[in-house]
């Protein structure tokens, strides 16, 4: 399997994870059954996912000049990730996330962005050489929007496919979205992108967004239902049924898998199926980065499981 070059731009956090029987209601205190610390952040998770699936990954990120930040960079290096474009901030701490996971494997997340907020367009310009040889650039929204925009423009300058996972959801201009080759919102993020009510129909929202902004490919992740490739007709790629333990990094696993498969020249439908498998495996064990599977695990998983229908 070829090792394609992928650039990942995004957030790097430390996850503090609490296992709870149920999520607290406002004013309620619940007792955690266990506590763990894991590496996290959407950019870091997606970068680790892609590296474990065989890609040559360059991660562009910013961490605090603190123990958590230094340990993160050492970990990325141990995963084979190129870290020359991860910078240290002397004023802000490494980002962190407080995550509660209930007995169904569902989660609630509160993030303190910390040093992620100082990843700047200049950092993209400094890393431009990495874009020249890349097959895909993978982006999220845990860093400043102007930095995401700079990465999109740099990718287009060098003819590199742009994959944008619009999470966490914020308003995005039609101009930016029109330059995205693959847009991968979940259902909530899709509704936020069109500025519609929370009870809007997902199919209609997907068609509206695709028509209004001109994004070439729109893939909506549907959790346990799989993923939808929007269009007329739409195409549903079913999820692989598994016993979920922790869904924290499932979306990041999906995006990492999608980027690697597309970079290898696979079709969109095959790439979404591959991404579904990567995401499914990640839900079967706790933590964000610890849950991300290797390429051999995914290959074995796909051999042993027939395509879901």
Residues annotated as catalytic are 252
Rounded CA-CA distance 287/285 in Å is 7
- As beta bridge partners, residue 227 has 221, 237
User: Are 179 and 216 contacting, i.e. CB atoms less than 8 angstroms apart?
Assistant: no
Cβ atoms 86, 59 nearer than 8 A: yes
Is-contact 140 10, C-beta < 8 A?
yes
10 Å Cβ neighbour count for 149? 18
> What order of strands is seen across the sheet that includes strand 217-221?
86-89, 56-64, 5-9, 136-139, 161-164, 182-183, 217-221, 227-229, 235-237
Sign of CA dihedral 3, 4, 5, 6: negative
Asked whether 82 and 58 are in contact (CB, 8 A), the reply is yes
Q: Which two tokens stand for residue 45?
A: 């998770």
d(CA 89, CA 113): 13
CB–CB of 154/124 below 8 Å?
yes
Contact 167, 46 (CB under 8 A): no
């Amino acid at each position: 399997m070829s090792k394609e070059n992928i650039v990942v731009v995004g957030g790097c956090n430390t996850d503090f994870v609490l296992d709870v029987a149920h999520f607290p209601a406002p004013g309620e205190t619940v007792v955690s059954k266990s506590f763990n610390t894991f590496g996290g952040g959407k950019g870091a998770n997606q970068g680790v996912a892609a590296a474990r699936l065989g890609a040559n990954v360059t991660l562009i990120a910013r961490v605090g000049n603190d123990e958590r930040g230094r340990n993160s960079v050492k970990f990325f290096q141990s995963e084979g990730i190129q870290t020359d474009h991860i910078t240290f901030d002397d004023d802000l701490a490494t980002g962190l996330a407080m995550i509660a996971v209930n007995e169904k494997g569902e989660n609630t997340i509160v993030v303190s962005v910390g040093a992620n907020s100082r990843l700047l367009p200049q950092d993209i310009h400094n890393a431009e050489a990495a874009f020249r040889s890349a097959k895909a650039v993978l982006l999220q929204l845990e860093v400043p929007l102007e930095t995401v925009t700079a990465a999109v423009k740099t990718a287009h300058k060098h003819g590199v496919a742009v994959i944008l996972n619009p999470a966490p959801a914020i308003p995005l201009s039609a101009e930016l979205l029109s330059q995205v080759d693959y847009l991968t919102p979940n259902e909530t993020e899709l509704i936020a992108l069109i500025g519609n009510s929370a009870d809007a129909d997902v199919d209609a929202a997907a068609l509206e967004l695709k028509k209004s902004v001109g994004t070439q490919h729109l893939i909506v992740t549907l959790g346990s239902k799989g993923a939808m490739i929007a269009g007329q007709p739409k195409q549903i790629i079913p999820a692989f049924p598994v016993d979920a333990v922790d869904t924290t990094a499932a979306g990041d696993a999906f995006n990492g898998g999608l980027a690697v498969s597309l970079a290898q020249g696979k079709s969109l439908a095959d790439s979404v199926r591959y991404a579904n498998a990567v995401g499914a495996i990640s839900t079967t064990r706790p933590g964000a980065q610890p849950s991300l599977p290797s390429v051999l695990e995914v290959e074995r998983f796909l051999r042993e499981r027939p395509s879901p229908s």
